[in-house]
Structure 1
């Protein structure tokens, strides 16, 4: 019986959307916008960044599935897909934070944001791209595993 990868994808995207929405709202006080922006600007930033996060996460997963995935994902090649997905997400985050803080100066960290010195990237954006995708991938795999058990027990 083949795994239900569309169910895994739905869970992944749902967790990515909700997880990043919560994360974006929670770490907004670590950006200067928290002190300088209006309520509308803050809300727009949260929604805009969450939408971008969903697109980035979907792209990272798609590239991982193309490069190291297996047709029986997420039951097979799960670790490889998870590793590539997270590495791409973290890599993009480092680039994006540098581009938008240093080059474009589109946003700035407040003095509250802990920063990784060598790469001058905020700790919370890095943690976001470690925690949220890993939780989403784990729940996606768990959902498929549970669905297979339920289906197998119904076919007895």
Structure 2
């Protein structure tokens, strides 16, 4: 790849990690706010309470995203896989880690953890008890994240070299 000599600098590692976390945070916050009606007691809660709850959930989502990315990078031995070329394995690991963590956390949070409950509007997978929207979130948003981050990071490399 043309940018390989630039990409290997330590600062590039940090920039890419911040881009993944930041883009993920932005996308997941939007998603969390949109799915508020699908959880009990959220539509009646005060606005700032909902914003704070969604912000905390989004921080967790962004941490899951960067962790899933790091697992895919570790397995592929390529931190810059998002810009150096996607193989099915890298993308599959990235998505699978996020989905697995989401399924486990949603199962706990809606069960023994008692963190939240789904409203009657939330479609639920009967085999896991997990809501369809949280699982869709961990398929659609990671894909969008890697597309946006690839574009942003390559642009950053070009501008950095000018």
> TM-score band, normalised by the shorter chain?
0.7 to 0.9
Secondary structure, aligned partner of 1:112: coil
Partner of 2:109: 100
RMSD across aligned positions (CA): 2.4
Task: Return 56-65 or 74-83, whichever deviates more.
Answer: 74-83
For 1:60-118, what per-residue CA distance to the aligned partner results, in whole angstroms no more than 9, with x for missing partners?
11121112242553333523322211100011110011101011221000000111222
Which residues of structure 2 form unaligned runs of 5+?
none
Which residues of structure 1 form unaligned runs of 5+?
none
1:13–1:136 CA contact under 8 A, matched in 2? no
1:68 aligns with 2:80: no
Whole-angstrom distance in 2 between the partners of 1:141 and 1:5: 13
Partner of 1:9: 17
1:121 aligns with 2:130: yes
Q: Which has the higher contact order (CA 8 A, sep 6+)?
A: 1
2:65–2:142 CA contact under 8 A, matched in 1? yes
- Quick one: which of 15, 32, 38 aligns to 2:40? 32
Partner of 1:45: 53
Task: Return 141-150 or 33-42, whichever deviates more.
Answer: 141-150
Tell me the number of residue pairs that the alignment of Structure 1 and Structure 2 aligns: 153
Whole-angstrom distance in 2 between the partners of 1:69 and 1:151: 25
Partner of 1:86: 95
1:8–1:144 CA contact under 8 A, matched in 2? yes
Whole-angstrom distance in 2 between the partners of 1:100 and 1:149: 43
Change in 2 beyond 3 A, CA 1:11/1:112: same
Whole-angstrom distance in 1 between the partners of 2:94 and 2:33: 23
Partner of 1:110: 119
1:136 aligns with 2:145: yes
Partner of 1:23: 31
Task: Give TM-score scaled by structure 2 length.
Answer: 0.80
Task: Give TM-score scaled by structure 1 length.
Answer: 0.83
Whole-angstrom distance in 2 between the partners of 1:36 and 1:128: 23
